[in-house]
Chains A and B, each alone.
Chain A
Amino acid sequence: MVNDLNWAIGGEAGDGIDSTGKIFARALSRAGRHVFTSKDFASRIRGGYTAYKVRTAVERVESVVDRLDILIALTERTIDENLDELKEGSVIIYDGEQTTMADVEVPEGMIGLEIPLNSLAEKAGGAIMRNVVALGAASEVAGFPVEYLDEALVKRFGEKGEAIVSNNREAARLGRDFVREETDYSEEFSLETTDEDYVLLNGDEAIGMAAIAAGCRFYAGYPITPATDIMEYLTGRIEAFGGAVVQAEDELSAINMALGAARAGARAMTATSGPGIDLMSETFGLVATSETPLVIANVMRSGPSTGMPTKQEQGDLNAMLYGGHGEIPRFVLAPTTIGECFDRTVEAFNLAEKYQLPVYLTADLALAVTEQTYSPERFDMEGVEIDRGKVVDPDEVEEWLDEKGRFKAHAATEDGVSPRALPGTPDAAHMTTGLEHDELGRRTEEEDVRVEQVQKRQRKVDTARDREAFDYREFGDPDAETLVISWGSNEGAMREALGMLDDRGIDVRFLSVPYIYPRPDLTDEVEAAEDVIVVECNATGQFADLIEHDTLTRVQRVMKYTGVRFKADELADEIEGAIAGERAPPEVKR
C-alpha cells in the first residue's frame, strides 16, 4: 500500500488549476491525512504552464520529493514539464477527446488513462466542471473514496448554491465511475484515512493570522507577488478586530503609512517582496532613527530587479541586513516552516515594540505560497503574549521630563530603549525626526550628542542579544562529524534528507536558524564538526558568508538558484556529494 502519494494537476494558468488542487488538498486534510503542497506558476494571468502539486501521507510531510504518482494533464506540455518526476507506474490522466491532446504519447512504463473529461462534465451540467471530473477520476486511482471530496466541494462552491455543489459532486462521481467501469486500471494505491483534524494553510496566511493575534491593527501594502496573500488574508478579517488594511499607491506610501500608524501607537505592518524592499529602504532608515516599532515582511522571490516573480529564492538576505544608507539597527527574523511563520510573526511585533526599531520578517516564496497541514493546536492563541515595551502611562511621564518639562523621547538609557509616549498622552508631546537628534528629538550636529544617540540605538541590539533567545533548532545526530546549517524553508527538505542520508549510513547534525540578526553564535558547533555545509537558495552563499564571518572558518556551500526549492532527495545527494568533496553547482535538469 502506497501511503506517501505525490499528485499533481497541470495546465494553463486560468484553467482553474489552483482551485482544483486546493479542493483535493483540503479533502485529504479533512480525511486526516497530512498534506504538503507546492506550486509551479508563471507570472501571467492566462496561459503559460502552471501546476499544483500535492504530497500526502499519514505521517507528517515536510517537503517535496522528486516523484509524481498521479498527474492530471490538462495540456500536453504538462507531461513534458514533469518528465523528470514521472516514474515507471505513474498514472497520467488526460482527455484524449481534446484535439490538443490527441497526439499525447504516454512515456513508456507509465499508465495513461484517457478520460473524456469534457463530455462527462457536460453530462454533469457543464464543461466547466472538467477538473472536478478529473479529480473524481484521480481520487479513484488514488484509492481515496470520492465522498471525501464532498465537503471540500461545499467549501469551494457552497456560496454558488446547492445546485452547483450537487453538479460538482456528480461530476466527481462520473470521473470515478469512468475509471471503475471503462478502463482496465487496477487499483494500486489505497489512501488510508485517520480521525485527525488538520488545518491547511500557507506561510502568508500564517503570518496574517499571527499578525491579528499579535494585535496588529494597521496594515498598508502594495500588491506584489508573492507577498500579496498577506494583504488579501488581512483584508476583511482585520476589520473584525478593529483594524484596517489600506492598499497604498506604492511601497513608499505603504511603509510611510505603516510608520504613521505605528507612531500613533498601533501595532502596524507592511509586507512586500524584494523590489518593494528597495523602494522602502529610505523610510526604513527613518523608522530606525525615529525609533518607531514596525514589522516589515519581505516575502522573497528571485531577484535582482524584477527577476522571476513567481520563483523561489533566498537572495535578499544581504539587502535586509545591510540595505539602506548609514548604519541602521534592525532585527531580521526568518521563519523556517509555515507553522513557525506564526510564532516568529508574534515575536516580531513584540521585538519591534520592546526595542523600538524595524523588524524584517522574511519568508521565502516556498514558505509563503505553499500549504501544509497542522494540528489546529499548533497555532496556540492562548499562548500569544503581547509585550508593548516601555510605553509610558500618563503618571509616569514626569520621570522622563527634562528640567524645562520637555519629554525625552530619545532618552539615552542604559539599555538603549527610551520611554515611548503614544500621541494623546498628556504633557508628553514631542517630535522626532530622521535627522540626528538629541534626547528631545530635536535636530543636532553636536559631536557628543551624535555619538551618544548612535550608541544608544545600537545598544538596543546588544540588550536584545542579552535578553532574548536568538537560538537555532537542531535535528539529526548531535555527535555527527558533518554539520549542515540552513535558514528559511530549507528546513523541511533537509529534515527529510536526514532520513535518506541515514539510510545511506551518513550521520548528519543539522541546525536550522530562524534568526539572521541578531543570530546565534555557531562557533562551537562549527569547530566541533569535520565538514560544515551551509544550504541556501541563492548563488553567492549569503548566509554561508555570515557563518564564515562569525566563526572564522571556511564552510562548504550547497546552493540552488534555479527558481525551484530544494527537494529532499536532491538535497540528500548534494550533501553526500559535498562530504565526498564532489561539489558542483546545481545542475539544471532538462
Chain B
Amino acid sequence: MSSDTHFTDFKSDKQPTWCPGCGDFGTMNGMMKALAETGNDPDNTFVVAGIGCSGKIGTYMHSYALHGVHGRALPVGTGVKLANPDLEVMVAGGDGDGYSIGVGHFIHAVRRNIDITYVVMDNRIYGLTKGQASPTSRQGFETATSPDGTVEPPVNPQALALAAGGTFIAQSFSSDSQRHADLVQRAIEHDGFGFVNVYSPCVTFNDVDTYDYFRDSIVNLDETDHDPGNYEAAKDRIMDPGAEHIGVLYQNEDSVPFSEREGIDRNMADIPDGAPERADRLVREFY
C-alpha cells in the first residue's frame, strides 16, 4: 500500500452515464476518498458491484473489480476476501440489488461478519428499468408498477442488519460528502462487516425522496447524544418509523470477523506446482 494515494487514483477515465445530479456521483466519490484515506491503492482494492445504476460503479472506479449478476455481489465479495485477506474488498449495490433479489445474501453476509465494506446506494426506486417500486419505496408510492401506490411497507435494512447480528450499521447521505466519506472510512476500518446505507437520490424517477426531502428530514446522529455502542439505543433509532438518520447507528467494538474465527489468514492464490507436501496422507486415510 502506498501512503501517497490520492482519491483520484481510484477514478477511471470512463465518464459516468448516471443522470446529471444523480446521488451516485457523491456516493462513489466518498468511497474513493475513504479508500485513499485508509491507505489503500487500486492494486490491492477489489470492488464488487451488482446490477442497476449502482452496478456501474466498477466501471467508473479504478481498481480490481467485478460487475456481477443481480443481487449476488455480496457472495462474490465474500469469496474474494476469504481467498485473499490482504485485499480491501468493497461491495456496492442498490436497494433493489441488496434488499430485494439479494436480501438473503445480505442477511447471511451480515451474520458471517465478513470483513468487507458494503455500500448501498438507496434511492428507493428502480432507476435503470425506468421507475418501478423498490423494496425501500414508501408505502403508497406511485410508480409504473404501482399506479395506485405500493401496498407493501418498505423493508428496514438497518433492522435486518441488526437482527442478523450486524456489527457496524451506518446511514449516510450522498450529498453530505465529507460525512459520507467519513462514514465509509469508519466502515472500512471496522473489523467485520461494515454496512453503510446511503440516501442516494434518483433525480429522474423519485420525486418523493428528493435532496430537499432529505435535507429537511435528516437527523445527524453526531449532533445528538446517540451512543453507537448502545445496542438498545440503536434499536430504538432503527425501529423508529420514518426517522431519517445519518451517522453510525450501531457498532460492536468486540466484533470478530469470520476469517479470524475460522483462522483464515493466507492468500489462497499461493499454491505449489504440484500436490502439496503431506498430500500422501490423504490417500492413507482410506486404508
Contacts and interface: CB of A to CB of B under 8 A. Distances in A.
Interface of A: 29-30, 197-201, 205, 209, 212-215, 217-218, 220, 237, 239-244, 246, 248-250, 252-254, 256-268, 282-283, 286, 290, 376, 379, 381-382, 384-386, 404, 422-435, 442-443
A423 B69 CA distance: 20
Contacts of B44: 423-424
A226 to B, nearest CB: 19
Given A242-B266, A253-B72, A199 B286 contact: yes
Given A260-B48, A261-B82, A212 B287 contact: no
A244 B266 CA distance: 10
A433 B58 contact: yes
Interface string B26-65: 0000000000000000111111100000000011001111
Contacts of A386: 271-274
Contact of A249 (B14, B105, B269, B284): B105
B108 interface: yes
Contact of A248 (B47, B75, B80): B75
Contacts of A218: 79, 82-83, 268
B66 A432 contact: yes
Interface-central residue, A214, A220, A244, by most chain B CB under 10 Å: A244
A257 B283 contact: no
Nearest to A244: B264
Given A282-B69, A429-B64, A432-B66, A266 B78 contact: no
B262 interface: yes
B253 interface: no
B87 interface: yes
20 contacts: A199-B286, A209-B282, A242-B268, A252-B72, A253-B104, A254-B75, A257-B79, A258-B79, A260-B48, A260-B78, A260-B80, A260-B81, A261-B79, A263-B46, A264-B83, A266-B268, A283-B69, A404-B13, A423-B80, A443-B59
A423 B41 CA distance: 11
B131 interface: no
A241 B276 contact: yes
Give the contact-size bracket for chain B: 35 or more
Contacts of A214: 275
Interface of B: 12-14, 42-48, 58-59, 62-69, 71-72, 75-84, 86-87, 104-105, 108, 262-264, 266-276, 278-280, 282-284, 286-287
A240 B278 CA distance: 10
B60 to A, nearest CB: 10
Given A218-B268, A249-B104, A386-B273, A424 B43 contact: yes
A259 B69 CA distance: 11
A213 B68 contact: no
A215 B286 contact: no
B266 A209 contact: no
A207 to B, nearest CB: 12
CB-CB nearest 9 A-B residue pairs? A260-B79, A265-B269, A256-B75, A215-B271, A266-B268, A433-B67, A431-B65, A199-B286, A261-B83
Find the residue from B13, B66, B79, B84 having the highest chain A CB count within 10 A. Answer: B79
Q: Which of A205, A218, A424 has the most CB of B within 10 A?
A: A424
> Which of B64, B67, B278 gathers the greatest number of chain A CB atoms within 10 Å?
B64
Contacts of A432: 65-67
B59 A442 contact: yes
Contact of A260 (B59, B75, B271): B75
Contacts, number: 211
Contacts of A199: 283-284, 286-287
Nearest to A254: B75
A302 B69 CA distance: 29
A252 B48 CA distance: 16
Contacts of B283: 199, 209, 376, 379, 381
Given A199-B284, A264-B81, A268-B83, 15 more contacts: A241-B279, A242-B266, A242-B268, A252-B71, A253-B72, A253-B105, A256-B68, A256-B72, A265-B84, A266-B84, A385-B274, A423-B46, A429-B63, A433-B67, A442-B59
Contacts of A239: 263
B204 to A, nearest CB: 20
Contact of B276 (A197, A213, A264): A213
B268 A261 contact: yes
A205 B268 CA distance: 22
A256 B76 contact: yes
B271 to A, nearest CB: 4
Given A199-B283, A376-B284, A286 B68 contact: yes
A433 B58 CA distance: 9
Given A260-B66, A264-B79, A381 B279 contact: yes
B1 to A, nearest CB: 11
B66 A215 contact: no
B65 A430 contact: yes
Contacts of B264: 244
A209 B84 CA distance: 23
A264 B84 contact: yes
B271 A213 contact: no
Contacts of A246: 78, 82
Given A249-B105, A384-B275, A212 B282 contact: yes
A56 B177 CA distance: 74
Contact of A428 (B43, B46, B76, B266): B43
A199 B79 CA distance: 34
Contacts of B12: 431
